[in-house]
Amino acid sequence: MPADLFSPPQSVANELSILKAALDTVVPAKRKDKNLLIATWNICAFGNLTRTYTEKDSNSPKRNFRWLHFITEIVRRFDVIAIQEVKGNLRAIRKMMGLLGPEWGFLLTDVTLGKKGNDERLAFVFDTRRVKPSGLACELVVPVNDDNYLSANTFQHQFVRTPYAASFVSGKQTFILVTLHVNYGEDKSDRTGEITALANWLSRWSASAKRFHHNLIVLGDFNIDRMGDELYEAFIARGLTVPDSLLEQPRTIFHKRDKPESFTFYDQIAWFTGAHEARLSMDYRGGGNFDFKHDFVRHVQNISNVELKFRLSDHYPLWVEFGV
């Protein structure tokens, strides 16, 4: 008989207390009519779930109710969060929405078909007490044979996982979030076309969106290896800017603080600034990540990176705060 999701054992309740305390030191509190917290998180293979709290080698999948409670508590700290790697099997996200409660909503794409699509969906999860959808939900499709978006033969078809956009309103502030999980490919060059096309697409679209007083923010897993490499340069070529507070934040659990070469720049939150006609007008307050491996998991369990990847995730949540 499956365990009761809504009645965790005392041991898990104790661990959740540790997690909440760790989050309190990193993520700003939600303040009514004062701030807005936006995040992105690639939750590894967020699909099926083993309906137990017991850790067993035979569990398949390895993620169970215990780890889902941890994921849910992290998600709860934000007003709206873009989640990548939601799978065709919706058990985990449906159970998470149950834990979050009736005040929460979500928007979800269909499964991306094909081997490279990896049975993935893109999702926005949001606290309806703080933000509400304002009408727009769409996928980004690049016009064929239009060099204003990408040069000829940059990539032949469409995005492997089509970028997903949705508009939201918080108070009197409206904004559009665009999320994407760039296909890693066989080589770095396989990612350049998708990133170039996205940057060009957003630059043109943002000017139109600005006329309707929408701010445009892009967030997700772009599989950029290093700050300053060709992928990063393609990402920022049309004016997208990553805030300074996120530049040095570890993105994954494989980051080693004493080994700079282990640092990756996969996950991003960015917007247009400076002289760009669609520069962000929202009041940016700061941002960061939540290093759950160092700040939480090591206090409750000795676990390898591989084990942690499939129970919680291999990516850290990345977040920003705005004033409203």
State which residues of the chain have pLDDT below 70: 1, 113-117, 142-158, 209-213, 275
User: What CATH fold (topology level) applies to the domain 10-323?
Assistant: Deoxyribonuclease I; Chain A (3.60.10)
For 206-250, the pLDDT digits (tens) are 777 665 668 899 999 999 998 989 999 999 999 999 999 999 999
Q: How many CB atoms lie within 10 A of CB 219?
A: 26
Q: What is the pLDDT of residue 311?
A: 98
- Rounded to two decimals, what is the model's pTM? 0.93
Q: What is the pLDDT of residue 256?
A: 82
Distance (Å, whole) CA 47 – CA 89? 5
Q: What is the pLDDT of residue 198?
A: 87
Four-residue CA torsion sign, 287, 291, 294, 299: positive
- Please tell me whether residue 123 adopts helix, strand or coil conformation: strand
DSSP labels, 168-217: EEETTEEEEEEEEE----SSTHHHHHHHHHHHHHHHHHHHHHHHTT-EEE
Distance (Å, whole) CA 230 – CA 79? 33
List strands edge to edge, sheet with 215-221: 132-139, 164-170, 173-181, 215-221, 267-272, 240-241
